[in-house]
Amino acid sequence: MNRAHDSESNSSKRQRRSLNTVGRCLLLVLATAMGGCALSDRPYRQLALSRGLRHDGWIIGLEQADREESSAPDRGTHDPSRFKPERLPWDAATIRAIRAKAGYARTREDEKRLEEQEATRLRNRIFADYADTDKISLVTQVYESFKPTAIDTSRYATVDIFNAHDPDGSGVIGKTQFHYADGFRALEVFRRRFKQKLAEEKHTHVVLLALGWHVDQVEAIHTYNLMLHRLSEESDGDFRPLVVGITWPSAWLQGLIQPLDLIGHIFSYFDKAKDADAIGSTIAAHLLYDILLDEENPLPVVAIGHSMGARMLSRAYFSARNLVNAKPHKKLSLLICLQGAFSANRFLKEDPDEGHPYDRFAAKRAEIVLTTSTFDLANAAARILTTFPNVGGQYGLKVAREHPETFRILHWPASRAGVSPPSAEEIFSRVNKRVLMIDAETIVNGGTGGLQGKDVRPHNDFLDAEMAQLMWTLIKSACAN
């Protein structure tokens, strides 16, 4: 009877997800129209010439390359020296013994063990699927930005730590050499530079940043600069971060003529969602846990991601169990997911689709904050497209309302003269730890505040002074603990 019910349930799920190709494409066009587009029409590889981070820190550029040509692990396998599937919570003999029992003889603890085992197996299957591609994401560029101290200037200089497009340092871009291991060697050099910068004792925070779908390197760096500038203004000089900004190839056919660029944008959604998770559970997790959260780092570490960048960084935070060389580390102070393009179900024990990869949030030490808005129609369209209730839109908010044991909802007030933002006590609960979802529709509603003074749609409305006030309030409150 249970098997029949499960079969009916699975069939029902398959039917719900079997939107025809034409329908999905139309919905993707809708999502595309509600999202942002890249500032640059240049192919991603040419962006190795790009500079422009106007803060102390680093840009870590990722690209995709053919596995075999870049000497990466074979298709279907992760780098065994760095990444691994989770350890199953129960040994095979225990699970076999439980399964041998008649259904009525199983205890609640038995059912819990079976569920935990299957959820872990599902997470491991998804993790394995990240490697089942012909191409692999790898580090192709690491450059450092700094303000020269020998001369009086407001300008920032940059220096390559690693550039796969200029492997011999000749300054001639185009002699590209992609090699998987080179990217990790570059991250080791970055590790040393990071420690040296920490020793200068002139910074207040370490900030890890990632952006989302269809954002090229030029737009990412412009966005980071504006976001950090707004935060610095809001903090009255109390925010002097060491910045680590990730850029990644988040679109197909970028830089081609407009119709092809649009087609690439439309059809890339599912592939790029998978890429964001794959990068998060591997390279970004390695960067976060093995470097930035080193126990000797005296500064609070804050991670801020937007849309699929929030998907990437949230996956990284919950992927320490996928690291081979996991070691003791300091806590992440704050994870801010701005209009996150990932399912609210990831936090729920009953999630049957992804194995609830974020359900251990209560045991994690970071404060986790999600912004959402009913005006964000891009995330709403994703619900129809994928069946998942993304946290950045109305369906994720609905899930949060239905699960008050997991989510705490805070309605952010409109920014008006005489209206103060919530206090630290109102923002972060000291008991019964839950994920904080901020209903930010007073801010995330579209209009002015985009790059180059352009109007933006609600999904991309996160660069204005009101959002800077929200984020700085969160940073102050979380990092004071």
pLDDT at 15: 44
User: What pLDDT is recorded for position 166?
Assistant: 82
46, with CB counted inside 10 A (0-12, 13-18, 19+), is middle
Q: So what's the pLDDT on residue 481?
A: 63
Question: Is the per-residue pLDDT at 194 higher than 70?
Answer: yes
Are the CB atoms for 315 and 281 separated by under 8 Å?
yes
Rounded-to-integer distance, Cα 143 and Cα 58, Å: 6
* Tokens standing for residue 96: 């076999």
Full-model pTM: 0.89
Q: What tokens appear for 88 in the block?
A: 């199953």
Q: What pLDDT shows up at residue 274?
A: 94
Q: How confident is the model at residue 355 (pLDDT cuts 50, 70, 90)?
A: very high
35 pLDDT above the threshold of 60: no
Average pLDDT estimate for 253-276: 69
CB 360 within 8 A of CB 244: no
